Amino acid sequence: MLEVKSSAPHLANATTRADLASWGLQPDAIEGASQSSGRLLYKGANGQPEAGLWVCTPGRWRLSIPRDELCYFVSGRAEYRRENGEQIQIEPQTLVLFPSGWQGECTVHETMRNTYMLTAEGPQAPDAPAPIATFLRQPLAQTALVDWGVIPTMLHGQSLTSGKLLYKGPQGRSESGIWRCKPGRWACHVTRDEFCHFLAGRSTYVHESGEIIEITPDTVAFFPQDWKGVCTVHETVTKVYMIR
């Protein structure tokens, strides 16, 4: 189901959707001619923030990351190489945070697909160290999560949360990681824009307008700032997320 006009735009079956739009040739090619396609989930004022699905065919090209970007690669194989030699090998179920200012090149060996969120631009300190990407393999299989306590706005049950922080930007500009939540029902107020790729579990979000949003495994969703409603977690949920 495609529900991008929802109070919280969302897409089911993100890793297998075929209804993608052509986004043309990947610019700044070095070798080959990588073709991009995708599906936009959300785009804010002046194009910031942006979230969606992206597919890229084999080839090699230069890139410069203008804003913090979270990518969850669900298929394909590629290599990202930063100008100083830093390398990130991409394989299915790799979660990567590319910080603003990261520059290098990408070689796509097998057509890759990811879900992503680009944050809004933030000020860069002139003396800031060179940005380093952080990544994590197999987020769904992670067991060494930190206890983040019970949801403070419970309406029924005791939803215990845990997680793993992947990245937190300067001045808290963006935050990303893994979040797990056990069953229960609670009042939900989204205080900052949040992108989620739900990997496991089932939950229902009911917006204050009465709109019902069903979340199943492999659903991506964008909850805008000040979204309010009630969340009921039916089966323990695990997601990767980015808030800004």
Classify domain 141-243 at the CATH superfamily level.
Answer: Jelly Rolls (2.60.120.10)
Domain 2-138 and domain 141-243, same fold? Reply is yes
At 72-123, the pLDDT tens digits run: 999 999 999 998 888 999 999 999 999 998 999 999 999 999 999 998 765 4
Closest by CA position to 222, among listed 116, 110, 72: 116
Closest by CA position to 99, among listed 137, 62, 69: 69
Q: For residue 169, what are the contacts with CB-CB under 8 A and spacing of at least 6?
A: 68, 99, 100, 119, 122, 175
Mean pLDDT of the chain, nearest integer: 93
According to DSSP, the β-strands at 35-43 and 87-90 are unpaired
Closest by CA position to 42, among listed 84, 4, 90: 4
Assign 45 a pLDDT band (cuts: 50, 70, 90).
confident
At 190-214, the pLDDT tens digits run: 999 999 999 999 999 999 999 999 9
Q: Which CATH number fits domain 2-138: 3.40.50.300, 3.90.45.10, 2.60.120.10, 3.10.20.600?
A: 2.60.120.10
Closest by CA position to 96, among listed 196, 166, 169: 166
Percent of the chain past pLDDT 70, that is, above it, reads 94
**CA–CA separation, 180 and 198 (whole Å):** 10
Quote the tokens at residue 234: 């039916």
The stretch 179-189 carries a mean pLDDT of 98
At 17-43, the pLDDT tens digits run: 999 999 999 999 999 999 999 999 999
Question: Cα separations (Å) of 55 from 16, 64, 232?
Answer: 11, 18, 32
**Spans of all domains in the chain:** 2-138, 141-243
45 backbone dihedrals φ, ψ, rounded to 5°:
-60, 135
